[in-house]
Amino acid sequence: MDKQNITVLGIESSCDDTSAAIIRDGVILSNVVAGQKVHEEFGGVVPELASRAHQQNIIPVVDRAIKRAGVEKESISAVAFTNGPGLLGSLLVGTSFAKGFSLASGIPMVEVNHLKGHVLALFIRENGVEFNPPKFPFLCLLVSGGNSQIILVKDYLEMEVIGQTIDDAAGEAFDKCAKVIGLPYPGGPHVDKLAKLGDPSKFVFSQPRIPDLNYSFSGLKTNFLYFLRDNLRENENFITENINDLCASLQFTIIEILLKKLKKAAKQTGIREIAVAGGVSANSGLREALKQTAVKQHWNLYIPKFEYTMDNAAMIAITGYYKFLKGEFARQDIVPFAHTQL
Ligand code: KG4
């Protein structure tokens, strides 16, 4: 197939961000993301409200993405959409939109696994920016609100999970611990900000002892909660007086846990091409720690641009592009899945 002028419209609606993006021949032309403020007062995503907001957002977001890209609707070759994992009601909105767009335009649909999308965000090219993607095979630490995995990436669409969390994800650990110290949802970015002002060695929290390349964050969460409970008994202002140090120490522990297994995976596989992806890879402490580890371990490190680490449709469009090249299309009777594996 001729690889020129393949224009993919990507749709992402797996959680609480409605996003649409246009990618032509692997180069990003637009990436529009509409967040949903409606969840803030609930301290977490309310699935029913999320799907309603997606319904309101999807058409204006797609319209904006097409206009911003400066392409004609008729020039779009395929529509790629997230079909899981995610919230079922949210996924249904994107999937239904993709079906309608595909039928109305007479173009194929491409289903995209959200987690693969996070990994392939590393391959989004930007006009005028040097393109330096990881070389296969590489290891990708995928850390988001729903996942913490170490993935062996053998090719664009050939990936193997070699380690993963057995309970909570790293993003959940950030968000749930942030909630108990009164920070707004999602807590990860707030912890990141306050951690910059605190002492990471002030408090010591527990780290899991589990075999292989797997992760666990539920013990840390419980340890953090009990630690606060005990200290609040003696000083009711403990949290406010120590919030920066609490954030710095919590963040330090999460990063230690993540890096320990990543180093082990690199050693076991002998791979030095190391990448990071997913929302938590926006964390400034994690980025810095990865850079320092890369120097010590002689890794080639790849970190996606900030806007491609969070949920976004550019990563769905780029994955759709590679699937399009392989002729992997979805049928009109496809349904989304809340719990799909990579
Ligand atoms: O990839 P993402 O946007 O959504 C999922 O697919 O889960 O990741 C969202 C997660 C949330 O848990 C959020 O708190 C976390 O990424 N996050 C961060 C930071 N920015 C986002 N965690 C720590 N530090 C950050 N700067």
DSSP-assigned letters across all residues of 303-322: ---GGGTSS-SHHHHHHHHH
The answer to whether the CB of 106 falls within 8 A of the CB of 74 is: no
Average pLDDT of 42-57?
92
Domain count, the chain: 2
Smallest CA-to-CA distance from 210 within 178, 147, 164, 276 is with 164
Structure tokens at 100: 């309608």
Are residues 286 and 142 part of one domain? yes
Reported as a pLDDT band with limits 50, 70 and 90, residue 3 is low
pLDDT at 92 over 90: yes
Predicted confidence at residue 45, as pLDDT, reads 86
- Cα angle 193, 44, 141; round to 5: 60
Structure tokens at 13: 């609606």
- Are residue 104 and residue 185 in the same domain, yes or no? no
Which residue puts its alpha carbon closest to atom 7 of ligand 1? 145
Residues 94 and 145 in one domain: no
Judgement on whether residues 315 and 176 belong to the same structural domain of the protein: no
Is residue 290 domain-shared with residue 143, that is, in the same domain? Answer: yes
What pLDDT was estimated at residue 1? 46
Q: What is the pLDDT of residue 281?
A: 95
29 within domain boundaries: yes
Give the mean pLDDT of 309-322: 97
Inside any domain, residue 88: yes
Give the model's pLDDT for residue 224: 98
Amino acid at 56: Q
Question: Cα separation of 261 and 65, whole Å?
Answer: 39
pLDDT of residue 101 exceeding 60, the answer is yes
In the sheet that holds 109-113, the strands lie side by side as 27-34, 18-24, 7-12, 78-84, 109-113
The Cα 258–Cα 159 span in angstroms is: 20
Query: Distance (Å, rounded) from C-alpha 145 to C-alpha 139?
Result: 20
Q: Nearest Cα to 321, choosing from 63, 9, 1?
A: 9
Same domain, 238 and 209: yes
Structural domain includes residue 342: no
Residues 22 and 318: their CA atoms lie apart, in Å, by 9
pLDDT digits (tens, 9 = 90+) for 103-124: 999 999 999 999 999 999 999 9
Q: Are residues 89 and 222 in the same domain?
A: no
State whether 102 and 202 are in the same domain: no
* CATH number, position 251: 3.30.420.40
278 CA to middle of ligand 1, Å?
A: 7
Does any domain span residue 35?
Answer: yes
pLDDT at 156 over 60: yes
H helix and E strand count, the chain:
9, 10
The protein residue whose alpha carbon is closest to atom 23 in ligand 1 is 188
Residues 279 and 318 both lie in one domain = no
Evaluate the omega torsion of the peptide bond into residue 133 and state whether it is cis, within 30 degrees of 0.
no
Q: Which domain holds residue 190?
A: 138-303
1 within some domain: no
- First CA to last CA distance, the chain: 27
Ligand 1: centre distance to CA 280 (Å): 4
Mark whether 270 and 316 lie in a shared domain: no
Whether the CB of 146 sits within 6 Å of ligand 1: yes
Would the CB of 21 count as within 6 Å of ligand 1?
no
Average pLDDT over residues 34-55: 89
| Closest-lying ligand 1 atom to the alpha carbon of residue 187 | 14
Instruction: Decide if 68 is inside a domain.
Output: yes
- Ligand 1 atom closest to the Cα of residue 14 is 6
Distance 77 CA to ligand 1 centre (A): 31
- Does residue 316 fall inside a structural domain? yes
pLDDT, tens only, 230-247:
999 999 999 999 999 999
Instruction: Name the pTM for this structure.
Output: 0.94
Answer yes or no: is the C-beta of 278 below 6 A from any ligand 1 atom: yes
The mean pLDDT value for 314-326 works out to: 98
Check whether residue 161 and residue 292 sit in a common domain. Answer: yes
Residue owning tokens 């707004």: 184
- Backbone phi, then psi, for 88, in 5-degree steps? -60, -45
The answer to whether the CB of 232 falls within 8 A of the CB of 242 is no
**Domain for residue 267, yes or no?**
yes
- Asked whether the bond before 85 is cis by omega within 30 degrees of 0, the reply is yes
Asked if 237 and 193 sit in the same domain, the reply is: yes
Q: What percent of the chain has pLDDT over 90?
A: 92
pLDDT band at 334 (very low <50, low <70, confident <90, very high): very high
